[in-house]
Amino acid sequence: MYSEIVSFVRSYYNEPQAFIPLHEPRFVGNDRKYVLDAIDSTFVSSVGKYVDQFEDMVKDYTGANYAVATVNGTAALHMSLMLAGVKSNELVITQSLSFIATCNAISYIGAEPVFVDVDKQNLGLSTDALRDFLQAECTINNKNCYHTQTGKRVAAVVPMHTFGHPVEIDKMLEICQQFHLPLVEDSAESMGSYFKGKHTGTFGDFGAFSFNGNKTITCGGGGIIVTNNEKHAKLAKHLTTQAKIPHRWNFEHDHIGYNYRMPNLNAALACAQIELLDAFLESKRKLAMQYAILFKELPAKFVEEPMYAKSNYWLNAILFSDKTQRDEFLTYSNDHQVMTRPAWQLMHRLDMFKEALKGPLTESEKIADTLVNLPSSVLIKDILIQEQ
């Protein structure tokens, strides 16, 4: 089986020998043109037309009313959590199966993550596990949710759309409303993913996206906050620009602010990338469909998009039946210059979060032991377009 997978990847990328990375960015559109234009304009930093333009493009693309570009996805999460009202010593419910940025953003506030299990179909926060945890361990008092045993306030819920596969966000929103909890979607991996036709990140109070080098579209480093709340959007823009009161020459600030704005240079690249997003998505879907066919014949399970969703298939994933097989395949594929990798170390196993509160994490543990991500880059010939 291992050699069949490796040969499939090599033939798909038409790469008989060379190293095949997990996810490579593609710059075949207006990338150079816009970046050079930003340089020529001298506006490379936090002021410039590309920042506004990119925010408008993301609003159009996702259907969100407001978008505020940030320096990276972690900053977008940090700012979203602050604006959602999370304070130090409070609790934020999230998944243990995630990239560390989610927990880092929670920690920057001095809040603590609480880990709830993931769903075995979509690999993101499980609505059942969330409901069970809240019903069993929490109490509502005066429209606030408290963890009964510690008395700490539960301040937000942060599901993550793992590898681009949307969680059951409609049910999750209902549960959050019932327990008076703000919902922040860690949509870092889900640009171009839809839940029942509506873009991920637009269901909760905030959605945070990332445009890091390995994401579906990239601007080197970058992120964006989307929200439908005008007040939140204005505050996000204000606080991410050092809370400076706009004025032609005075430097006045009315808050502790952050230098979290996306530079215009990055925004130029981001504009070029989002122009090609639909072409990227089409190419990624073609590859995913081919993986799905391949794994029908093999004893590993390909992770498909949930029935209710359209995934961007950012990183393709398979689940082996046990950890030994998983480890054998990781060794075999990487020895053969085809990059594959396991899921992230579970957050509750890291030193910093091992004391964190948690519910049962059976699925998270099982997935973490058996999952492998497969090469998922867009095929260049799929996205080559007419002369610009």
Ligand X SMILES: *Cc1c(COP(=O)(O)O)cnc(C)c1O
Shortest Å, Cβ 86 to ligand X: 16
Query: What's the N-to-C CA distance of the chain in angstroms?
Result: 43
If the CB atoms of residues 133 and 314 are measured against ligand X, the closer one turns out to be 314
Contact 101, 80 (CB under 8 A): no
Phi, psi of 352 (to 5 degrees): -65, -25
266 in contact with ligand X (CB under 6 A): no
Q: How many residues bind ligand X (CB under 6 A)?
A: 14
263 in contact with ligand X (CB under 6 A): no
Query: What is the DSSP code (8-state) at residue 160?
Result: B
How far apart (Å, rounded) are the C-alpha atoms in residues 94 and 198? 22
291 in contact with ligand X (CB under 6 A): no
Shortest Å, Cβ 337 to ligand X: 25
Q: Which H, E and C letters describe 17-73, residue by residue?
A: CCCECCCCCCCCCCHHHHHHHHHHHCCCCCCCHHHHHHHHHHHHHHCCCEEEEECCH
CA distances from residue 186 to 10, 52, 224, 258, 334 in whole angstroms, order as listed: 33, 22, 11, 20, 30
* Residue with tokens 């075995």, as numbered in its chain: 120
Shortest Å, Cβ 346 to ligand X: 13
How far apart (Å, rounded) are the C-alpha atoms in residues 18 and 250? 56
Contacts (Cβ under 8 Å, ≥6 apart) of 269: 31, 34, 35, 218, 219, 220
Contact 161, 184 (CB under 8 A): no
If the CB atoms of residues 187 and 264 are measured against ligand X, the closer one turns out to be 187
Closest residue to ligand X: CB criterion: 73
If the CB atoms of residues 80 and 264 are measured against ligand X, the closer one turns out to be 80
Contact 382, 282 (CB under 8 A): yes
If the CB atoms of residues 98 and 241 are measured against ligand X, the closer one turns out to be 98
Shortest Å, Cβ 76 to ligand X: 7
189 in contact with ligand X (CB under 6 A): yes
99 in contact with ligand X (CB under 6 A): yes
Token pair listed for 347: 């957050």
287 in contact with ligand X (CB under 6 A): no
Segment contacting ligand X (CB under 6 A): 17-25, 67-75, 255-263, 360-368?
67-75
223 in contact with ligand X (CB under 6 A): yes
Contact 306, 196 (CB under 8 A): no
Mark 101-130 with x for binding to ligand X (rule: CB under 6 A) and - for no binding.
xx----------------------------
Among 5, 83, 188, 274, binds ligand X (CB under 6 A): 188
Shortest Å, Cβ 251 to ligand X: 28
160 in contact with ligand X (CB under 6 A): yes
Chain positions 68 to 87 lying near ligand X, rule: CB under 6 A, are 72-74
Shortest Å, Cβ 182 to ligand X: 17
Token pair listed for 202: 């637009």
Chain positions 309 to 348 lying near ligand X, rule: CB under 6 A, are none
Shortest Å, Cβ 234 to ligand X: 23
Contact 313, 164 (CB under 8 A): yes
Segment contacting ligand X (CB under 6 A): 175-183, 184-192, 194-202, 371-379?
184-192
164 in contact with ligand X (CB under 6 A): no
If the CB atoms of residues 5 and 106 are measured against ligand X, the closer one turns out to be 106
Segment contacting ligand X (CB under 6 A): 19-27, 185-193, 300-308, 364-372?
185-193
Phi, psi of 70 (to 5 degrees): -130, 170
Binding site for ligand X (CB under 6 A): 72-74, 98-99, 101-102, 160, 186, 188-189, 210, 212, 223
